[in-house]
Amino acid sequence: MRNALGSVDTVLLLGGRSEIGLAIVERLVRRGARRVVLAARGAATPGGAAPAAGDVLSTAVAQLERLGAEVHVLDFDAARPETHAALIEEAAAKVGDLDVVIPAFGVLGSQAVYDADPVAAARDVAVNFGGHVSIGLAAARRLREQGHGTLVVLSSVAGVRVRKANFVYGSAKAGLDGFAQGLADALHGSGARVVVVRPGFVIGRMTRGMTPAPMAVTAAEVADAVVEALDTRKGTVWVPARLRLAFAVMRLLPRPLWRRLPR
């Protein structure tokens, strides 16, 4: 439940090493969130040991604790949907009602690799789409039972109109975007809601070595837009905002012209 000042109090980040996800969590903690769960693959060994010092996750925990948050770390594997419902309940057992849930995991992959290895393509789609469907439904069930809370779905402009340069990744994002919109409608009136975030090219670890596309943004800019959406109760966020107009035009391009866009 939001605290007495109306700020988010509890946050669950699924994909606890995500640059965008951690940037959102840091902003929420600076604004008053005090209980955080970071769920990530390899977050704990079978013996219960925490990640090694220097790991992105350990660094994030230390930073959030310095900012005054109580931080819990859980092991999470997006490729194991049979574990997702229990993970949501374990997070709620640690911090109580979940105010904001942020699934921020995925694999960018390479179209050339996918062309040569369809099995790799199917495996990554299972994470980029199937993993989000599984954890999204489990989180939505929890938020509906609470009667409040927001699921932040990190979609992409790559799914608004799929390009040949990354059509396997783009098709997974297109499915995720449709899923998020449908889930938002299903939750309407329950007190819980969904925010769909559509960033353009995000400069960061995931895209290191790639040439930024026009209107590229940083993880910090995406995080700022998400926090604003949580405040204003927007349902869909384009980052940067002018991408919305750009894609209104791009959607109308004839396919022969669309195919000619540079890879």
> Is 20 within 8 Å of 219 (Cβ atoms)?
yes
Q: Of 105, 114, 129, 169, which residue is the catalytic one?
A: 169
Find the CATH number of the domain harbouring 128: 3.40.50.720
Which pLDDT score is estimated for 253?
87
Kindly compute the dihedral angle of the four CA atoms of residues 135, 139, 140, 142, in this order, to the nearest 10 degrees: 150
Q: Is residue 232, in this structure, part of any structural domain at all? A: yes
Q: How many domains does the chain have?
A: 1
At 206, give phi and psi (nearest 5°): -65, -30
Which pLDDT score is estimated for 48?
43
Q: Which percentage of the chain shows pLDDT scores above 90? A: 78
Q: What is the pLDDT of residues 59-82, one digit of tens each?
A: 999 999 999 999 999 999 999 999
- Lowest-confidence pick of 29-38, 47-56, 118-127, 180-189: 47-56
Q: Is residue 5, in this structure, part of any structural domain at all? A: no
- Lowest-confidence pick of 72-76, 105-109, 256-260: 256-260
In terms of Cα–Cα distance, which of 197, 158, 245, 236 is closest to 20? 197
Reported as type and span, the H/E element at residue 104 is none
Q: Is residue 138, in this structure, part of any structural domain at all? A: yes
Domain hosting residue 223, numbered range: 10-259
> Is 187 within 8 Å of 193 (Cβ atoms)?
yes
- Lowest-confidence pick of 116-120, 189-193, 211-215, 237-241: 211-215
User: In the annotation, is 114 catalytic?
Assistant: no
Q: Is residue 194, in this structure, part of any structural domain at all? A: yes
> If you average pLDDT over residues 6-13, what whole number do you get?
90
Which pLDDT score is estimated for 3?
46
Q: In this structure, is the dihedral angle defined by the CA atoms of residues 187, 188, 194 and 200, taken in order, positive or negative?
A: positive
Kindly compute the dihedral angle of the four CA atoms of residues 149, 154, 160, 162, in this order, to the nearest 10 degrees: -150
> If you average pLDDT over residues 6-17, what whole number do you get?
92
pLDDT grade for 46, boundaries at 50, 70 and 90? very low
Paired with 188 in beta bridges are none
Q: Is residue 3, in this structure, part of any structural domain at all? A: no
Give dist(CA 251, CA 97) in Å, integer: 40
Which pLDDT score is estimated for 96?
96
DSSP string, 164-175: GGGHHHHHHHHH
Q: What is the pLDDT of residues 170-195, one digit of tens each?
A: 999 999 999 999 999 999 999 999 99
Cα 51 to Cα 25, 44, 82, 202, 254: the distances in Å are 19, 6, 24, 27, 50
Contacting residues for 100 by C-beta, under 8 A, at least 6 apart: 8, 10, 11, 12, 28, 33, 149, 150, 152, 230
Contacting residues for 262 by C-beta, under 8 A, at least 6 apart: 165
Q: Please tell me whether the overall predicted TM-score, pTM, comes out greater than 0.85 for this model.
A: yes
Give dist(CA 20, CA 161) in Å, integer: 22
Q: Is residue 2, in this structure, part of any structural domain at all? A: no
Does the structure show a pLDDT above 50 at 20?
yes
Share the mean pLDDT of the chain.
91
**Pair of tokens at residue 31:** 């604004």
pLDDT grade for 53, boundaries at 50, 70 and 90? low
Cα 252 to Cα 110, 136, 170, 239, 243: the distances in Å are 27, 31, 18, 20, 14
Angle between helices 19-30 and 219-232 (to 10 degrees): 50
How wide is the angle at C-alpha 79 spanned by C-alphas 77 and 83, nearest 5°? 60
